[in-house]
């Protein structure tokens, strides 16, 4: 995909899991990637591995200023912004009556407010040039309830409506889509199944129940994200792509 060469991207949640795999995938296509994450050590190591195609900007995306800094970094490094992938996430495990107000606020701030912050700062820079494409990583939790995940399901459940609104307001120059994974082998998944008394058994049983007979891997999501960013998806916007190994069919 030569179209990614010399283009500029921001990827949040880039220091682990799906975000890291997406950042590596874009860099492999010769895009210049602003890497966002809170883990300085992992972020610096990823920047080194990408050999000049990645620039790590540490920060907490719950802070509006951290999102502005990402966009300023894209402007300073490339003078433009073509792609945004919002992949950072927070679980907030606990039933409504057990979950602390602080954990609720942090989960909503990470999974929903931070999406607003980055879009607010990124879209104007994208519109200065040729527009661009945005992918937000959601979850099948917007379609299906999970035990003891109220903050997560609420925050992810808001994203389909937000994505449609942005598609309506900024098309045709900006395309935006949602990718909603089910169980993907990432640190977030391992933290999620801690909501169950038997996490290892839950993972085994989940894989057996899925029509595809396996838990997802980050590359399954990266492939979908890169397609949606590409010109091959030029008539796709405001959509929610469920990538779940058939989870919602069970």
Q: Whose structure tokens read 């606020």? A: 105
Instruction: Give CA–CA dist 50/48, Å, rounded.
Output: 5
DSSP-assigned letters across all residues of 88-132 = ------S-TTTS-HHHHHHHHIIIIIHHHHHHHHHHHHHHHTT-E
Helix (H) or strand (E) holding 42: helix 40-49
- How many Cβ atoms sit within 10 Å of the Cβ of residue 29? 18
CB 167 within 8 A of CB 124: no
Main-chain phi, psi angles of 58, to 5 degrees? -70, 150
* DSSP conformation class of 235: T
Strand partners, 241: 179
* DSSP conformation class of 215: -
Residue 121 annotated among the catalytic residues of the structure: no
Main-chain phi, psi angles of 9, to 5 degrees? -135, 155
Nearby residues of 141 by Cβ (< 8 Å), 6 or more positions away: 149, 152, 153, 156, 157
* DSSP conformation class of 72: H
Considering the candidates 83, 117, 121, 152, report the single residue annotated as catalytic.
Answer: 152
Strand partners, 133: 83, 175
Tell me which residues are annotated as active site.
Answer: 152
């Amino acid at each position: 995909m030569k179209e990614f060469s010399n283009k500029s991207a921001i990827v949040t949640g880039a220091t682990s899991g799906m975000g890291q795999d997406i950042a590596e995938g874009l860099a492999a296509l010769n895009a210049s990637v602003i890497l966002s994450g809170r883990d300085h050590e992992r972020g610096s190591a990823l920047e080194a591995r990408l050999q000049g195609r990645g620039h790590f900007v540490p920060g907490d995306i719950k802070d509006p200023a951290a999102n502005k800094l990402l966009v300023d970094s894209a402007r300073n490094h490339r003078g433009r912004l073509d792609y945004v992938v919002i992949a950072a996430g927070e679980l907030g495990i606990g039933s409504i009556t057990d979950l602390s107000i602080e954990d609720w606020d942090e989960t909503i701030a990470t999974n929903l407010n931070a999406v607003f912050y980055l879009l607010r700062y990124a879209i104007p820079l994208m519109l200065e040039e040729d527009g661009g494409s945005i992918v937000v990583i959601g979850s099948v939790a917007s379609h299906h309830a999970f035990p003891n995940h109220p903050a997560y399901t609420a925050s992810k459940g808001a994203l389909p409506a937000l994505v449609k609104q942005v598609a309506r307001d900024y098309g045709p120059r900006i395309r935006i889509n949602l990718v909603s994974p089910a169980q993907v082998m990432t640190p977030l998944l391992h933290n999620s199944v801690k909501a169950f008394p038997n996490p290892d058994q839950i993972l085994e049983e989940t894989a057996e129940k899925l029509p595809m007979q396996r838990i997802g891997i980050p590359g399954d999501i990266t492939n979908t994200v890169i397609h949606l960013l590409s010109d091959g998806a030029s008539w796709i916007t405001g959509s929610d792509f469920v990538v779940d190994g058939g989870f919602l069919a069970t």
